[in-house]
C-alpha cells in the first residue's frame, strides 16, 4: 500500500498552530465564505503569519468588522470583496475586478447545506450551483492569476476545495444534476455537490499542474457553524449532533479546529507540488472502510473518468464550453 501523507497534527489542532513558524508575507489568498465559521478561522490563521487575505463574501458589509479585527491582530491583512457564488454574473465581476494581479492561494470554502429546493440566479439547483458551479467558474476564471502567482514565487500556487463526509450520500447524477425530472432530496443534493467538490480538485489538478497550480479537496470535519442554518434543531438531535439540552457531540470540532485541514492543505511543505488528493484531519484520507465510519473517501469522489465528465458539463453550464 502507498504511504499516505501525514502531518503530525491531531484532528483537533487549532488552525493557528498549523501555521506556527511560517512566513506567508509573500502570499495573497482568496477565501470564499470567510465571513464566519471555518472560513473566518482560515483567514485568521493565514493573516496571522503575514498573508494578504481577501475575504470573498456574499454580504460584504457584515464582514468588514471581522476583516479589521484580523488585520489588527495579525502580521498580514484582511479585506473584503463582494462575491455571490449563486450568481455567475457576480463571479464574473469578481474575476474581472481581480484583473492581472497574481494569486497564490484560492480556498473554495463557502457552501450551502441541506436547503429546501431552490435555484440560483442561473437556474441551477442551489447546492450544486453554489457549492460546485460557482466555485468552478471562479477557479477557472482565476487560473491565470494563480499561474502568475506561481511564476512570481517560483513555486506552485494552491487551490483548496472544501468537500465533506457528505460526499458519501451521492455521486453525480449526470442525467439530472439539477432535479428537473426527479424528486428532490436535500441530503442527496448536498452529497452530490460535495462529491463534485472532490472531483473538481481531481480535474483541476490534472489540467493545471503543469501550469504551476496544485489542487486538493478537504473534508474539515463536523463543526457547528452557520452552514446548519437550514436544519431544524430536532433533525440535528436525531442525527446525534447534539443532545436535547443543545450540547454538541464531543466528536465535533470548533471552527478553529475545523479550519486546520484547509490551512494545512494551503501551506504544508509535505504537499508542495502534490495534488488531486482528498485530505481530512490534517492528513491524506484513506479509502473508505465501513469499519471506520467517520473517516475515509469513497471511490466515486476520486474517479478520474467522473472528474472528466463533470469538467465537461461544468464548462458548458458556466458558458466556458
Q: For residue 9, is it within any domain?
A: no
* CB proximity list for 212: less than 8 A, separation 6 or greater: 146, 147, 150, 151, 155, 156, 157
On the question of pLDDT at 242 being above 80, the answer is no
Which residue, among 256, 257, 252, 230, has the nearest Cα to 242 in the 3D structure? 252
Say how many domains are in the chain: 1
pLDDT for res 12: 96
pLDDT tens-place string over residues 251-266: 779 999 999 999 999 9
Give the number of other CB atoms < 10 A from CB of residue 292: 9
On the question of pLDDT at 287 being above 60, the answer is yes
What is the rounded distance in angstroms from the CA atom of residue 198 to the CA atom of residue 62? 29
Confidence of residue 245 (pLDDT cuts 50, 70, 90): confident
Span 123-146, average pLDDT = 98
Query: Which domain range does residue 297 map to?
Result: 15-316
pLDDT tens-place string over residues 273-282: 999 999 999 9
Q: Is the dihedral of CA 128, 134, 135, 136 positive or negative?
A: positive
Q: For residue 205, is it within any domain?
A: yes
Give the number of other CB atoms < 10 A from CB of residue 92: 15
pLDDT tens-place string over residues 160-202: 999 999 999 999 999 999 999 999 999 999 999 999 999 999 9
Q: How many helices (H) and strands (E) does the chain have?
A: 12, 8
Q: For residue 6, is it within any domain?
A: no
Q: 246 vs 59, which has greater pLDDT? A: 59
Q: For position 149, which CATH number holds?
A: 3.40.50.720
What is the rounded distance in angstroms from the CA atom of residue 164 to the CA atom of residue 189? 13
* CB proximity list for 254: less than 8 A, separation 6 or greater: 14, 223
- The percent of residues above 90 in pLDDT, for the chain, comes to 86
pLDDT for res 239: 63
Q: For residue 45, is it within any domain?
A: yes
Q: For residue 2, is it within any domain?
A: no
Contact predicate 67/78, CB 8 Å = yes
What is the rounded distance in angstroms from the CA atom of residue 146 to the CA atom of residue 212? 8
What is the rounded distance in angstroms from the CA atom of residue 186 to the CA atom of residue 113? 8
Q: For residue 133, is it within any domain?
A: yes
pLDDT for res 241: 58
What is the rounded distance in angstroms from the CA atom of residue 97 to the CA atom of residue 92? 9
How many residues are listed for the chain in this entry? 321
Q: For residue 108, is it within any domain?
A: yes
Q: What is the residue-averaged pLDDT of the chain?
A: 94
Beta bridge partners of 6: 283
Contact predicate 282/219, CB 8 Å = no
Give the three cell numbers for residue 160.
Answer: 483548496
Contact predicate 10/86, CB 8 Å = no
Q: Scanning the structure block, which residue is given the C-alpha cell 442551489?
A: 126
Q: For residue 253, is it within any domain?
A: yes
Catalytic residues: 190
Give the number of other CB atoms < 10 A from CB of residue 243: 11
What is the rounded distance in angstroms from the CA atom of residue 82 to the CA atom of residue 267? 25
Amino acid at each position: 500500500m502507498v504511504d499516505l501523507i501525514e502531518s503530525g497534527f491531531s484532528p483537533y489542532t487549532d488552525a493557528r498552530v498549523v501555521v506556527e513558524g511560517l512566513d506567508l508575507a509573500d502570499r495573497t489568498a482568496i477565501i470564499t465564505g470567510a465571513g464566519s465559521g471555518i472560513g473566518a478561522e482560515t483567514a485568521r490563521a493565514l493573516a496571522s503569519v503575514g498573508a494578504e487575505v481577501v475575504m470573498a463574501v456574499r454580504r460584504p458589509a457584515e464582514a468588514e468588522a471581522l476583516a479589521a479585527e484580523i488585520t489588527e491582530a495579525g502580521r498580514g491583512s484582511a479585506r473584503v470583496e463582494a462575491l455571490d457564488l449563486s450568481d455567475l454574473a457576480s463571479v464574473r465581476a469578481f474575476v474581472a475586478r481581480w484583473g492581472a494581479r497574481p494569486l497564490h492561494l484560492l480556498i473554495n470554502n463557502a457552501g450551502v447545506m441541506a436547503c429546501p429546493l431552490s435555484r440560483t440566479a442561473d437556474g441551477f439547483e442551489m447546492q450544486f450551483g453554489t457549492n460546485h458551479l460557482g466555485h468552478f467558474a471562479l477557479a477557472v476564471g482565476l487560473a491565470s492569476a494563480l499561474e502568475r502567482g506561481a511564476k512570481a514565487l517560483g513555486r506552485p500556487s494552491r487551490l483548496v476545495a472544501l468537500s465533506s463526509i457528505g460526499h458519501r450520500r451521492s455521486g453525480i447524477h449526470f442525467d439530472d444534476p439539477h432535479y428537473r425530472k426527479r424528486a428532490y432530496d436535500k441530503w442527496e443534493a448536498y452529497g452530490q455537490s460535495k462529491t463534485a467538490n472532490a472531483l473538481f480538485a481531481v480535474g483541476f489538478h490534472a489540467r493545471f499542474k503543469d501550469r504551476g497550480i496544485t489542487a486538493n479537496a478537504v473534508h474539515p470535519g463536523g463543526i457547528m457553524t452557520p452552514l446548519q442554518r437550514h436544519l431544524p434543531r430536532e433533525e440535528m438531535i436525531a442525527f446525534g449532533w447534539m443532545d436535547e439540552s443543545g450540547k454538541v457531540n464531543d466528536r465535533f470540532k470548533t471552527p478553529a479546529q475545523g479550519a486546520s485541514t484547509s490551512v494545512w492543505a494551503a501551506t504544508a511543505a509535505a504537499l508542495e507540488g502534490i495534488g488531486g488528493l482528498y485530505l481530512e484531519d490534517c492528513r491524506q484520507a484513506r479509502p473508505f472502510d465501513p469499519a471506520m465510519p467517520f473517516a475515509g473517501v469513497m471511490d466515486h469522489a476520486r474517479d478520474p473518468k467522473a472528474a472528466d465528465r463533470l469538467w465537461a458539463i461544468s464548462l458548458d453550464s458556466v458558458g466556458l464550453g
